[in-house]
Amino acid sequence: MSRIKLAAAVFVALGAAGIAALSFDRANAGASPPVPPAATRALARDVLQHLIAINSTHAHGSSAAAQYVADQLRAAGFPDSDVLLLTPSEHLTKGNVIARLHGRGGAKPLLYLCHLDVVEARREDWSFDPFVLTERDGWLYGRGTSDMKGQDAAVLATLIRLKKEGYVPDRDIIVAFTADEEAGGDANGVKWLFDEHRDLVDAGLVVNPDGGEAAIKSARKLYVAVQTSEKMFLTFGLEVTDKGGHSSRPTASNPIYRLSRGLDRLSGFAFPVHLTETTKLYFAGRADLSSGQTKADMQAMSRTPLNDGAVQRLSGDVETNIILRTTCVATMIEGGHAENALPQRARATVQCRVIPGESPDEVQRTLEGVLKDPEIKIFVMTAAIPSPDSVPAPAILGAVRRATQSIWPGVMVLAQMSAGADDSIYPRSLGIPAYGIDGIFLDLDDERWHGRDERIGVREFDEELEFSYRLMKELSAR
């Protein structure tokens, strides 16, 4: 995924029973969660093996993976009219597949978003070949196992399982296997599908496994998170220019110094606290899972006026600071053109993650005030795409909770705000509610998205298959 999947969960209280459920159900602690039939497990493992073997990094594209997915669906009995391979004419390596399982038309379709592309991986960096699925000591290693070819395989196997069972949902189920999420998704993937083929992906509800999270800590399953919102991605360029000259004749208008002073002011600035209804629920729920000063500080977030000491302490921790406010940070800098010449230009890139509901224009005005130098020109490099919150509706959370509890009794369901962005931003910007939901449990202390020796557990993958099946039936039956 292009955004960092931070474990900054926004907890939504699901009632006293939901909070109490975090205390692991000891009676079920030794029970083995249900897994799907052997045929489904074999199919999913075969699909995962083939998808991992297809190098679908940005340079290679997703068309080979898309063709493989389409072939599997057709072999399972989906007619050609319900399996569409769509590729932008100017980017022939960026293939997408749209598959449809027809329902009774009781509601607008349920759409799953599943990206096929992965980030780069070099053999010399890994203990195993990243493009060969390798099982070792209960783990499945390979680039994309957790982001997100493991989820792709689970959703594909689930769709085929439902087809073979003759399942007819109340609403159509559409799955879009897409290109270029890791590259932003706007040119060839989900945004392209909504722009160019809206009728094929128009839906009343979107599920994006890439945006979800299921968490283990200290070998204990804690929660299944439902991503209901995400911060907006907004990038500014800063630039200072001057006439330059010989390095033997320094002046006070040196662009590098002026820009540096502005960035130093930015480094010490914190945007005002902006608590949304979602983040208020986060702190209220998170407090019940904490103790001592942290518990008291989180409880204080629901009171007016805010306690300055509580805000200061929570701001000192990255994971809670990013929930409290918009952030802007310098990520790149360049300047000068010769070692013996005064610089004529200095530039910096400032990357912002904006709380939903805030105005990008207001963020820019705030930055101008912080920089305090009219000679530092600020301009938008990457404009924000509006991404309103998807309401944490009881019907959605209830469906996820039923699927979760049926497999993992005692595991809590939480709603989540991501500090980064994913493909859910595109349907949300069109007013279509989208939720990140995933059941592959990963260790919060050993997450390997985009990293060396990416992996998922063998057992966790099998459980994901059953979770995908039960959740898809829950959400398509309304």
Residue carrying the six token digits 């053999």:
123
- What's the whole-model pTM score? 0.85
Task: Give the percent of the chain with pLDDT over 90.
Answer: 78
**Mind listing the pLDDT tens digit for each residue in 197-244?**
999 999 999 999 999 999 998 888 988 989 998 999 999 999 999 999
**Mind listing the pLDDT tens digit for each residue in 333-380?**
999 999 999 999 999 999 999 998 899 999 999 999 999 999 999 999
Do 190 and 143 lie in a common domain?
Answer: yes
Q: Compute φ and ψ for 176, nearest 5 degrees.
A: -105, 115
Residue 9's pLDDT is what?
44
Tell which of 381, 415, 432 closes a domain.
381
What's the average model confidence in pLDDT over 249-266?
97
Residue 259's pLDDT is what?
98
Whether 2 is covered by a domain: the verdict is no
82: CB partners within 8 A, 6+ apart: 73, 99, 100, 101, 102
Per-residue pLDDT at 14 exceeds 60: no
Contact call for residues 5 and 213 (beta carbons, < 8 A): yes
Per-residue pLDDT at 102 exceeds 80: yes
> What letters, b where the CB count within 10 A reaches 16 and e where it falls short, cover 364-378?
bebbbebbeeeebeb
- Strands 232-241 and 434-437, how do they pair? unpaired
Do 366 and 450 lie in a common domain?
Answer: no
Whether 308 is covered by a domain: the verdict is yes
380 CB-side CA count, 13 A: 12
Tell which of 360, 381, 402 closes a domain.
381
Helix (H) or strand (E) holding 416: strand 412-418
Contact call for residues 181 and 189 (beta carbons, < 8 A): yes
Do 377 and 425 lie in a common domain?
Answer: no
Most confident region among 25-34, 180-189, 433-442 by mean pLDDT: 433-442
Domain that holds residue 244: 233-381
**Mind listing the pLDDT tens digit for each residue in 111-123?**
999 999 999 999 9
Contact call for residues 16 and 460 (beta carbons, < 8 A): no
Do 324 and 441 lie in a common domain?
Answer: no
311-320: Cβ within 8 A, 24+ apart? 311/273, 315/270, 319/6, 319/7, 319/8, 320/8
Whether 31 is covered by a domain: the verdict is yes
Contact call for residues 148 and 115 (beta carbons, < 8 A): yes
What type of residue sits at position 323?
A: I
- Edge-to-edge strand list for the sheet holding 345-354: 327-335, 345-354, 232-241, 377-382
Do 349 and 468 lie in a common domain?
Answer: no
444 CB-side CA count, 13 A: 18
Do 29 and 45 lie in a common domain?
Answer: yes
What is d(CA 404, CA 410) in angstroms, rounded to the nearest whole number?
9
Find, among 435, 404, 449, 439, the residue nearest to 216 by Cα: 439
Find, among 198, 197, 153, the residue nearest to 177 by Cα: 153
Do 186 and 290 lie in a common domain?
Answer: no
Whether 198 is covered by a domain: the verdict is yes
Neighbours of 199 (CB within 10 A): 5
State the alpha helices, DSSP H only, in 316-457: 318-324, 360-371, 394-407, 425-429
- Strands 96-101 and 173-178, how do they pair? antiparallel
What type of residue sits at position 352?
A: C
Do 213 and 244 lie in a common domain?
Answer: no
Do 362 and 445 lie in a common domain?
Answer: no
Split into its structural domains, the chain has a count of 2
CATH number at residue 437: 3.40.630.10
Per-residue pLDDT at 22 exceeds 80: no
Contact call for residues 85 and 66 (beta carbons, < 8 A): yes
Contact call for residues 353 and 420 (beta carbons, < 8 A): yes
Tell which of 381, 397, 426 closes a domain.
381
Do 182 and 316 lie in a common domain?
Answer: no
CATH number at residue 350: 3.30.70.360
- Paired with 223 in beta bridges are 215, 412
Per-residue pLDDT at 124 exceeds 50: yes
DSSP sequence for 161-221? HHHHHT---SS-EEEEEES-TTTTSTTTSHHHHHHH-HHHH--SEEE-GGG-EEEEETTEE
Mean pLDDT of the chain: 91
What is d(CA 198, CA 301) in angstroms, rounded to the nearest whole number?
41
DSSP sequence for 111-148? EEEEE-------GGGSSS-TTS-EEETTEEESTTTTTT
Do 142 and 60 lie in a common domain?
Answer: yes
**Mind listing the pLDDT tens digit for each residue in 48-78?**
999 999 999 999 999 999 999 999 999 999 9
Do 206 and 239 lie in a common domain?
Answer: no
Whether 10 is covered by a domain: the verdict is no
Contact call for residues 94 and 189 (beta carbons, < 8 A): yes
Whether 15 is covered by a domain: the verdict is no
What is d(CA 122, CA 19) in angstroms, rounded to the nearest whole number?
43
What is d(CA 310, CA 306) in angstroms, rounded to the nearest whole number?
8
Whether 255 is covered by a domain: the verdict is yes
Whether 393 is covered by a domain: the verdict is yes
Q: Is the dihedral angle over the CA atoms 334, 335, 337, 341 positive or is it negative?
A: negative
